[in-house]
Amino acid sequence: MFINFQEELNRELPVHKLDEEGKEKLKNPKDPIQFMWIGHATFLVQFDGLTVLADPVFLYRCSPVQIVGPYRYRPTPCEIKDLPKIDAVIVSHNHYDHLEHDAVQKLNNRFKDIKWYVPEGTGSWFQKYDCNNVKEMTWWKEDVVKIGGKEVKFCCVPAQHWSQRTPTDAMKSLWCGWVIKSKHTFYYSGDTGYCPVFKTIGEKYGPIDLSAIPIGCYAPRYFMKPQHINPEEAVKVHTEVGSKYSIAIHWGTFNGLGSHEHYLEPKKYLDEAVREAKVDNMNFGEFLTVEHGKITAIPIKSKKTLQRMVKIKVTILETPVYSIYHWNKRKHHKTPDNFITQDKELAEQVVQLNNKIKEINSTLNSHTPKFSNDLQVRSKYKNGAHRTETNRSYYNFQLYADGIHPTNLLARTWLKKIATQAQIDCW
Ligand SMILES: [Zn+2]
């Protein structure tokens, strides 16, 4: 039983107890977007002056009674009394690991004007606890409110799951995910199996700055697959909604939820799935696990950098790498040193990329063809593939490997990796 391995748990899944410094951080957020994983599906997010709590559950057991049922092997980092002022609570469905009467009551007592965003059919349950401002919503419904003088849109989005709270109310209320749109966009998927809806969510509400996506509770697959995604599917959700930054939830907290996977497997499995996805998709962004109670800010690119990023393309050459290398030489395409020095940001990225290539070269043995650590950069480049571009001032990086034929899949994989590792936005 996990509970006997306190030392291992403290090492593998440390819980950062919310101290005075942390409370102050939550009270006066300095970063545009910050969050704290409270445990399992309970997630606190702060952005654009807004504080939202998702699926608040704080008791030891997520069960109708506190004597039996799934219990925590990792404690909560804080209690409701420690939280900053909560503007809104979003609830994904009424399962006990997502909705708890005690938390709802305590939140309602502390913050009378919380806005409760809940799935259709659960509104009357909240009214039982005297909650005001309960917005019961169905899939694809939106609600625009003013919070702190700013407009915020709460959007109820589909998920593939189910609901039940008592022996007789199975499927009688809805389950859902939530998109919250202010200046930035946050997506909370709720519990879900994998289905085609995520692409639609991405098209409708993307780009998404931060997502909270479940990765645990997936084994055995024959039983869990329709209701809970596994890390590999979570990675697909992240990609399909177009999330820049995703945080893994729904793992590492409760024992006895009915799934069989080892408690650390979701994390390892996610790391692997992310590593693989990054090779294929250079726009992957980040999908991370975080520690309980750790207040984390997500790195936001400044507007200037963002514009610059949009203009930079890394092309993995589709035509023979070898011949293009020579073609470039023949056409005496000058490495535009003067151009690079004019643009410091770009120059930095080129240096970064070249260093990466050097680093990779040093790890290859003498029988493996090496990559040239000379990066070709061309400005105002237009080719057939980009003819529709109206903006002529983007830059086209071409990575090439000296003497390697493009059918060499290993070489292509490495090239993609280089671009990914250099963290250059590319497509
Ligand atoms: Zn759940």
pLDDT in tens, 219-242: 888 889 899 999 999 999 999 999
- Average pLDDT for residues 292-319, to the nearest whole number? 55
pLDDT at 186 over 70: yes
Query: 79: CA distance to ligand 1 center in Å?
Result: 20
pLDDT at 364 over 70: no
Query: 165: CA distance to ligand 1 center in Å?
Result: 12
* Range with the poorest average pLDDT among 19-28, 73-82, 311-320, 385-394: 385-394
Quickly tell me which residue has 């035509």 as its tokens.
Answer: 319
| pLDDT > 70 fraction of the chain, expressed in percent and rounded | 69
pLDDT at 329 over 60: no
pLDDT in tens, 243-298: 999 999 999 999 989 888 889 999 999 999 998 888 777 678 899 999 999 999 98
- Average pLDDT for residues 398-414, to the nearest whole number? 48
- Average pLDDT for residues 336-352, to the nearest whole number? 47
| pLDDT at res. 305 | 38
The string of DSSP codes covering 30-71 is -SSEEEEEEETTEEEEEETTEEEEES---SSB-SSSSSSS-E
Query: 228: CA distance to ligand 1 center in Å?
Result: 8
| pLDDT at res. 361 | 62
Q: Buried b / exposed e across 279-309, counting CB within 10 Å, b at 16+? A: eeebebbbbebebbbebeebebeeeeeeebe
pLDDT in tens, 372-384: 444 433 332 323 2
Query: 169: CA distance to ligand 1 center in Å?
Result: 17
| pLDDT at res. 326 | 25
Query: 216: CA distance to ligand 1 center in Å?
Result: 9
| pLDDT at res. 101 | 96
Burial of 154 (0-12, 13-18, 19+ CB in 10 A): buried
> What's the CA dihedral at 127, 143, 301, 14 to 10 degrees?
20
